[in-house]
Every structure is written in structure tokens, then in C-alpha cells.
């Protein structure tokens, strides 16, 4: 039962954004900046964002050597260049918007471990550098001369450095977005799951304590990534669960920092506060990981444990202190779906594994579309 005051003040908006992850918050901010007088509300089902945005690894990356080569097998050179450009310029835009300190950004580089399986890709390092030259004006990838200081397994034959990549603190990124929302007077309600979206009438329902509460808005932005098909069906979106584990603080100083990729990027790790954060391994059970359930796949956890003991810290066994899963959204294309469903409802979803890099820009594209109709 709602009061007179609640009905009068809390149910009608100019823009309602569904989903309070990177894309939802970025959409709210950029819309409000463009239209300061509009009333903007973000509805997030979790207490915190509960998809991918606070569950990720915080890699500020745009593609390792083997990933770019793999992309070239499925896309034209022009398409690959445009993907890399969008990711890199996306990273530059959040650094400019919020500042490196606020994001916990470190320009520590991206690294890829090369084993016998990927060694042939090295022959194409110069070709890829030439391809990317127009974007960066410098070679992107270089082979590290002395890799003994990393202490990796002897199976790691080479390490390739990408000097334009870095890492950030995913919590600080969301905190920066929350702070900006507050400055701009964007309202955020958490614990507010949208259970029904009426596209034709520009209305939506939030179920709360047994009551269905209907909100109305001139415009609605759907930013629910992997969960979108619960509200709008017939979209090319497949969920992809990702596991992350973090060790206890290690007694010895870890001799490296940066964003590290292994097995063509399916496994990734970094040094956070002298702990090893390690994640990925979806390729061990692709089908099983096409799920939105936030549970741990033990087969993948065991796989990550082996990578730790055999490749990253050979001979030592990890003590994982934390583990969690997050849900990504994939489809046939690596490009997000950004479109208007009608004159009132638009969406920016399916961010893949690069939402840290492209989330802000993707939100900007949606705001552009919402502003035109
Ligand atoms: C384990 C893991 C590691 C990753 N590592 C990296 C990385 O290192 N670098 C990188 O660039 N990217 C990484 N990503 C990908 C990146 O995190 C995502 O692409 C990005 O967070 C997507 O942002 P989003 O806002 O579109 O989606 P989400 O963060 O999923 O946000 C969608 C929000 O909508 C909410 N929601 C869903 N349905 C409803 C509803 N009905 N009502 C209300 N709210 C709803 C959800 O709770 C969620 O908070 C990783 C992802 C995972 C899972």
C-alpha cells in the first residue's frame, strides 16, 4: 500500500535506467549531464550491482596478441581495428572523466604468457604492431628479454608486454560512478528488481514485499546485460559465468605487477595487495558456464588451482581466501547491442568480457539514441 506522498513523488520519472552496473550508471550520468532538469532514476535489483561490474578482475585491457590474432580469424581487419579503438578510447575516456586516482588506475601494462601452444603466434607480432600503428603511433606488443624474474614455469617460453594496458580497482570505478550520480542528483534505488517491463506504455513493475509497484517514465533504458532476456525476449544474448579467486596475502613480495593473460586470455591474473587474483577458465566447461546462477564450478576452481601451482607459482599450492562469480553476456558478435526498441525504450546490453573498457562509451551511444527520439 503506497502513501499519497510516495505516489506523488517516487513513481514518475523522465528517465528510468534498469540495472545499476557500469553501463546503467554511466547511462544515467551522461543523460543527466545532457538534460540537467530531467528526473533520472536507476533501479538495481541487488544491494550492490549484482551482475559483472563489481565481480570482474579490473583489467583495463583492449586485447592480447593472441586474442587479436584470433579475432582476425573471424572479423575483417577493419572490424578488429574498430574493436580495439573502441576499447582503448573507452579506457582513455573513463580516465579523463574520473581521474586515475579515483579509479585506482595503474599503467602497469598487460602481459601474455606464451607456451608451446601459442609460440607460432609470435611470428605475427610485427604484423599486428603494424596493423595497430595508426591507433597508437608506436609498437603495442614487445617481447620481454629476460623473463626469469617473473618466476613462472619453464613451460612459459616467452612473455609479451602490451605497454598501453593497465589495471584498475573495480570497486573504485563503481564508487566514482555512484559519486557522480550523487553530484548530479541521479536517484539510485537498490533491492529493486524490475519484474515486468511494459514497452508499449513505458511502465515497469518492481515487486517489493508482496506488492507490485508500477513506475512510469518518459524514457526507459534497459542496462541489464546478461539478464535482459527476462525482460525482453528474442535477443542474441548468452550468459557466461566467470569465476575469480584471490589468495591470502603471500609472505614473499610478488615480483611483478600488471594484467596477465594465459591460454589465449581464457585465464587471467594480477597482483592485488600482494595477493594473487586469478580468474577465468570458462573454456573448461563452456556449456556449464552458460548460466546466470552465481555458483562456483568446482571443475574450474580445480583448473585454476592447477594453473597456479604449475604455471604461475610453480611448486607452491595456493590458499584461496576469497572466491566469487559474476555473469557476462555474449552473443554471435563481440559488439554490444545498443538500440531503441521503440520511441521510449532503449537498451545497451551484451558487453562481453570488456565492459570495463567499453561500458562508458556504450552508455554514451545509448544516450545519443535516447536523446534523438
Ligand atoms: C569474472 C569477470 C571478470 C571480468 N573481468 C573483466 C576485466 O578484467 N576487464 C573488463 O573490461 N571486463 C571484465 N569483465 C566484464 C565486465 O565486468 C562487464 O562487461 C561489465 O561489468 C558489464 O557491465 P553492465 O553494466 O553491462 O552489466 P552488469 O554489471 O551485469 O550490470 C547489470 C545490472 O543489472 C542488474 N539487473 C539485472 N536484471 C535486473 C532487473 N530485472 N531489475 C533491476 N536490476 C537488474 C544486475 O543486478 C546488474 O547489477 C569481467 C566480467 C566477469 C564476470
Q: What is the pLDDT of residues 178-192, one digit of tens each?
A: 999 999 999 999 999
Which DSSP category does 106 fall into? B
Which residue's CA lies nearest to atom 18 of ligand 1? 355
Which DSSP category does 321 fall into? E
CA–centroid distance, residue 351 to ligand 1 (Å): 8
Ligand 1 pocket test, pick from 355, 361, 363 with the greatest ligand atom count within 8 Å of Cβ, gives: 355
Coil vs helix vs strand at 110: strand
CA–centroid distance, residue 232 to ligand 1 (Å): 17
Quick one: cell of 244? Answer: 575469480
Looking at residue 208, what is its pLDDT?
82
Burial 281-291 (b: 16+ CB within 10 A, else e): bbebeeeebee
Residue closest to 324 by CA, chosen among 352, 308, 307, 300: 300
For ligand 1, is residue 58 a contact (CB within 6 Å)?
yes
For ligand 1, is residue 23 a contact (CB within 6 Å)?
yes
CA–CA separation, 16 and 20 (whole Å)? 11
pLDDT digits 0-9 by tens, 195-227:
999 999 999 999 888 889 999 999 999 999 999
Query: Is the Cβ–Cβ distance between 357 and 60 less than 8 Å?
Result: yes
- Please state the φ and ψ torsions of residue 220, each to the nearest 5 degrees: -130, 130
For ligand 1, is residue 18 a contact (CB within 6 Å)?
yes
For ligand 1, is residue 90 a contact (CB within 6 Å)?
no
Share of the chain above pLDDT 70, in %: 100
Share of the chain above pLDDT 90, in %: 97
Looking at residue 209, what is its pLDDT?
81
User: What is the mean predicted confidence (pLDDT) over 92-118?
Assistant: 98
CA–CA separation, 210 and 82 (whole Å)? 47
CA–CA separation, 5 and 46 (whole Å)? 25
User: What is the mean predicted confidence (pLDDT) over 64-93?
Assistant: 95
Residue closest to 174 by CA, chosen among 184, 162, 182: 182
CA–centroid distance, residue 314 to ligand 1 (Å): 33
CA of 49, closest atom in ligand 1: 49
Bridge-based pairing state of the strands 238-247 and 194-198: unpaired
Cell numbers 597456479 correspond to what residue? Answer: 308
Looking at residue 23, what is its pLDDT?
98
Quick one: cell of 167? Answer: 589495471
Asked if pLDDT for residue 55 goes beyond 90, the answer is yes
Structural domains for the chain = 4-54+172-231+333-372 (3.50.50.60), 64-169+237-330 (3.30.9.10)
CA–centroid distance, residue 140 to ligand 1 (Å): 28
Ligand 1 pocket test, pick from 17, 42, 48, 51 with the greatest ligand atom count within 8 Å of Cβ, gives: 51
CA–centroid distance, residue 354 to ligand 1 (Å): 10
Name the region of 58 (left: φ>0; alpha: ψ -120 to 50; beta: rest).
left
User: What is the mean predicted confidence (pLDDT) over 146-161?
Assistant: 97
323, containing H or E segment: strand 320-330
CA of 324, closest atom in ligand 1: 1
pLDDT digits 0-9 by tens, 338-356:
999 999 999 999 999 999 9
User: What is the mean predicted confidence (pLDDT) over 301-323?
Assistant: 96
DSSP string, 159-203: EEEETT-EE--HHHHHHHHHHHHHHHT-EEEES--EEEEETTTTE
User: CA 33 → CA 111, 283, 314, 346, distances in Å?
Assistant: 37, 41, 51, 18
Residue closest to 217 by CA, chosen among 203, 197, 196: 203
Ligand 1 pocket test, pick from 17, 21, 204, 361 with the greatest ligand atom count within 8 Å of Cβ, gives: 21
The overall average pLDDT reported for the chain is 96
Looking at residue 1, what is its pLDDT?
85
Q: How confident is the model at residue 7 (pLDDT cuts 50, 70, 90)?
A: very high
Looking at residue 210, what is its pLDDT?
83
pLDDT digits 0-9 by tens, 17-37:
999 999 999 999 999 999 999
Q: Percentages helix, strand, coil for the chain, rounded to the nearest 5? A: 35, 30, 35
For ligand 1, is residue 244 a contact (CB within 6 Å)?
yes
For ligand 1, is residue 356 a contact (CB within 6 Å)?
yes
Nearest-5° Cα angle at 57, 180 to 126: 110
Quick one: cell of 325? Answer: 562469480
Looking at residue 66, what is its pLDDT?
96
For ligand 1, is residue 194 a contact (CB within 6 Å)?
yes
CA–CA separation, 46 and 364 (whole Å)? 24
Amino acid at each position: 500500500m503506497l502513501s499519497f506522498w510516495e505516489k506523488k513523488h517516487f513513481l514518475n520519472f523522465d528517465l528510468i535506467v534498469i540495472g545499476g552496473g557500469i553501463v546503467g550508471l554511466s547511462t544515467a550520468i551522461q543523460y543527466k549531464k545532457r538534460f540537467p532538469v530531467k528526473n533520472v532514476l536507476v533501479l538495481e535489483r541487488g544491494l550492490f550491482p549484482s551482475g559483472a561490474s563489481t565481480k570482474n578482475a579490473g583489467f583495463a585491457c583492449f586485447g592480447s596478441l593472441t586474442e587479436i590474432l584470433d579475432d582476425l580469424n573471424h572479423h575483417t581487419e577493419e572490424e578488429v581495428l574498430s574493436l580495439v579503438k573502441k576499447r582503448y578510447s573507452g579506457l582513455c575516456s573513463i580516465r579523463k572523466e574520473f581521474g586515475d586516482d579515483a579509479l585506482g588506475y595503474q599503467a602497469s601494462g598487460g602481459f601474455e604468457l606464451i607456451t608451446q601452444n601459442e609460440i607460432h603466434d609470435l611470428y605475427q607480432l610485427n604484423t599486428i604492431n603494424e596493423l595497430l600503428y595508426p591507433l597508437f603511433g608506436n609498437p603495442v606488443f614487445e617481447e620481454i628479454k629476460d623473463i626469469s624474474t617473473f618466476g613462472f614455469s619453464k613451460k612459459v617460453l616467452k612473455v609479451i608486454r602490451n605497454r598501453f594496458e593497465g589495471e584498475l580497482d573495480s570497486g573504485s570505478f563503481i564508487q566514482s560512478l555512484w559519486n557522480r550520480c550523487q553530484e548530479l542528483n541521479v536517484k539510485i534505488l537498490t533491492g529493486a528488481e524490475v519484474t515486468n517491463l511494459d514497452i508499449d506504455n513505458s511502465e515497469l513493475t518492481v515487486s517489493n514485499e508482496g506488492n507490485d509497484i508500477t513506475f512510469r517514465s518518459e524514457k526507459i533504458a534497459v542496462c541489464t546485460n546478461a539478464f535482459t532476456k527476462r525482460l525482453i525476449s528474442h535477443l542474441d544474448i548468452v550468459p557466461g559465468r566467470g569465476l575469480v579467486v584471490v589468495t591470502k596475502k603471500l609472505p614473499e613480495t610478488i615480483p611483478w605487477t600488471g594484467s596477465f593473460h594465459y591460454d589465449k586470455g581464457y585465464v587471467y591474473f594480477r597482483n592485488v595487495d600482494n595477493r594473487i587474483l586469478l580468474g577465468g577458465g570458462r573454456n573448461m566447461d563452456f556449456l556449464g558456464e552458460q548460466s546466470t546462477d552465481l555458483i562456483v564450478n568446482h571443475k574450474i576452481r580445480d583448473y585454476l588451482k592447477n594453473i597456479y601451482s604449475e604455471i604461475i607459482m610453480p611448486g607452491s599450492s595456493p590458499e584461496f581466501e576469497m572466491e566469487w562469480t559474476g555473469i557476462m553476456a555474449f552473443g554471435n558478435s563481440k559488439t554490444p547491442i545498443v538500440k531503441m526498441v521503440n520511441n521510449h525504450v532503449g537498451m545497451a546490453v551484451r558487453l562481453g568480457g570488456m565492459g570495463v573498457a567499453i561500458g562508458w562509451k556504450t552508455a554514451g551511444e545509448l544516450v545519443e539514441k535516447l536523446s534523438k527520439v
